[in-house]
Amino acid sequence: MFACVNCERTLRKQLATMHEVDHTMMNAGGLSGVHRFFDEAKMEGLYATTFAVGPRGGAIVPVGNAITLECWLPYKDGSGITLPFLPMPLSGREVVHDIGRKKAVARWELEACESGRCRCTARPTGWRLTRPIVRALLGISDHALNDCGRLLPGALPGWALAWDTLTFMAGAYFNPEFVLPKREESRAVRAQRARSRSVGWKHTHPEHARRRR
C-alpha cells in the first residue's frame, strides 16, 4: 500500500480522483525523445512512505541528473489545469546541478553531485525551468536542447534558454501528443531569428552602418 506522507492519501485513491489525467500520468514521455518518467513504478516511488517533504510543504521529486525539485503533488488550479506534479518556483536555496550535457551521464559525475563534491553553484530563482532541469526531464543532451529549445512550449525570451514552468509541464512533459521538434524545424527557426537580429542591428545602430562604408 503506497501513501503520500504529506496527507496519507493512498496512491490508488489519488488515481481514482484524477481519472481525467490517468492517461497523462501513465503515458508522459512516451513519444519521440522524451523518456517515460511517470510509469507505474515511478508513481509508486513518488508515493512511497520515505517520500521527503520540502521546507514549503511540497514533495521533493527527483527529476534526474541529481536534480531534486520541491513540487505540488498533484497540482490543480482554478482554471481546470490538473497535473500529476508541478515544480514550485525556484527559491534560490538549492543548487541545481548542471551535469548530463551528454545524453549518458557518467557515474562519477552523478556521484560527485549527490555527495556535494561537484562544482555546481547555480541557485536559480523564479517560476521557471532552466537548461539542466529541462535536459533531465526530457532525457536529452545539451546539444539537442540547444537545437530545439526555442520551439518547446513555454520558451521565455532572452539570450539564456529558460521555460515557463506551468506552460512547459502542461504543453510538453505531460502532453501525450507532444513530439520533440525535428532538427530541420529548429534550424529554420534559428536562421530566421538570426536574420531578424541582423536587420534589427542595422536599424537600431545606424552609426555602425556608416562606419562600414
pLDDT surpassing 60 at residue 146: yes
Confidence of residue 50 (pLDDT cuts 50, 70, 90): low
Which is nearest to 34 in space by CA: 186, 179, 182, 181? Answer: 179
Residue 14 C-beta-side C-alpha neighbours within 13 Å? 24
Long-range contacts of 15-21 (CB under 8 A, 24+ apart): 15/43, 18/74, 18/82, 18/84, 20/82, 21/74, 21/82, 21/83, 21/84, 21/174
27 within 8 A of 86, measured Cβ to Cβ:
no
What's the pLDDT score for residue 99?
A: 85
Hey, what amino acid is at 60? I
> Residue 126, SS3?
strand
- Mean pLDDT, all residues of the chain: 75
Give me the residues paired with residue 75 across strands.
83
pLDDT surpassing 50 at residue 49: no
Report the predicted TM-score, pTM, of the whole model to 2 decimal places: 0.68
pLDDT surpassing 50 at residue 37: no
Mean pLDDT of 21-32: 44
- Among 52-66, 99-113, 119-133, 185-199, the range scoring the smallest mean pLDDT is 185-199
Give me the residues paired with residue 61 across strands.
69
In 25-113, which ranges are E strands?
A: 59-64, 67-72, 75-76, 82-83, 86-87, 90-91
What's the pLDDT score for residue 147?
A: 85
Mean pLDDT of 49-54: 69
- Among 11-15, 78-82, 95-99, the range scoring the smallest mean pLDDT is 11-15
